[in-house]
């Protein structure tokens, strides 16, 4: 007897926040390639359209929806659109995030609020709305609920100038663990990915500077990670292979925190 592919997501419906660029765009393609119908969610819907078209050109299923993760009404509307197109979302990738750099003494409180709204309030609203709908759709019986939250290696690695960003990502770790405990008998697994430094739209300009190059040279392997380094762990946490994994965080950082 031939075993089914371990990371097969056929029949699943995935919602990816921050899907307009970077890791969110990559995650959307990986999930679609594994068979999931994908809901591409972000504020910049014009950028989502290219990803939607690319997925559909490969034979996948995808829609683009406007979603501001810091706004509850926008989050609810995005889930409504997802259900209208594909049915209940059972795989939630809370990936939207933003960066903030600068010495703590110089950072405006408005910047603090903006980062926390996207990086901490955003995953809270995204996961909560998804969990509510999963439970209403019978997730305790189906056992297919998967929530994956993108944290960061900076949640437990100290880098100067990242107090607010690091604090938001550390908060995500503890919040996700509590959510996992709250929903442990509801057929919903909640886990966090802590990526190391990957060159994306958020940080690309920095790593092109001499100071950014010096930071890379301080990494044990003196290199940046690739977005593809997260593919396998994303599929693992989204699939039935992770049925016994909840409330944990997995660091993939190419040894950057050593």
CB 61 within 8 A of CB 38: yes
Is 165 one of the catalytic residues? yes
Q: Given the DSSP bridges, would you call strands 13-17 and 91-94 parallel, antiparallel or unpaired?
A: parallel
CA angle (129 as vertex; 126, 134 as ends), nearest 5: 120
Q: 180: part of which helix (H) or strand (E)?
A: helix 163-182
As a whole number of Å, the end-to-end CA separation of the chain is 43
In a 3-state reduction of DSSP, which class is residue 251?
A: strand
Joined tokens for residue 9? 């997501």
- C-alpha distances (whole Å) from 20 to each of 7, 15, 42, 45, 198 are 24, 12, 6, 7, 16
Catalytic residue among 7, 79, 124, 165: 165
As annotated, the active-site residues are 165
């Amino acid at each position: 007897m031939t075993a089914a592919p371990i990371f097969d997501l056929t029949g699943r419906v995935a919602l990816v926040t921050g899907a307009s660029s970077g890791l969110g765009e990559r995650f959307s393609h990986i999930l679609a390639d594994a068979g999931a119908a994908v809901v591409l969610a972000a504020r910049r819907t014009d950028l989502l359209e290219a990803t939607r078209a690319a997925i559909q050109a490969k034979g996948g299923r995808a829609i683009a929806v406007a979603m501001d993760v810091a706004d509850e009404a926008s989050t609810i509307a995005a889930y409504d659109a997802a259900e209208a197109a594909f049915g209940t979302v059972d795989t939630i990738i809370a990936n939207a995030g933003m960066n903030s750099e600068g010495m703590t003494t110089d950072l405006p409180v408005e910047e603090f609020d903006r980062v926390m709204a996207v990086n901490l309030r955003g995953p809270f609203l995204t996961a909560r709305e998804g969990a509510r709908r999963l439970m209403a759709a019978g997730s305790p019986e189906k056992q297919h609920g998967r929530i994956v939250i993108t944290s960061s290696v900076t949640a437990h690695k100290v880098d100067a100038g990242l107090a607010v960003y690091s604090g938001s990502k550390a908060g995500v770790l503890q919040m996700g663990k509590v959510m996992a405990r709250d929903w442990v008998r509801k057929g919903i697994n909640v886990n966090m990915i802590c990526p190391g430094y990957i060159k994306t739209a958020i940080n690309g300009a920095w790593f092109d500077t001499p100071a950014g190059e010096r930071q890379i040279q301080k990494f044990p392997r003196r290199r940046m990670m690739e977005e593809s380094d997260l593919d396998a762990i994303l599929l693992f946490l989204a699939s039935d292979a992770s049925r016994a994994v909840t409330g944990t965080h997995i660091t993939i950082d190419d040894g950057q925190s050593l």
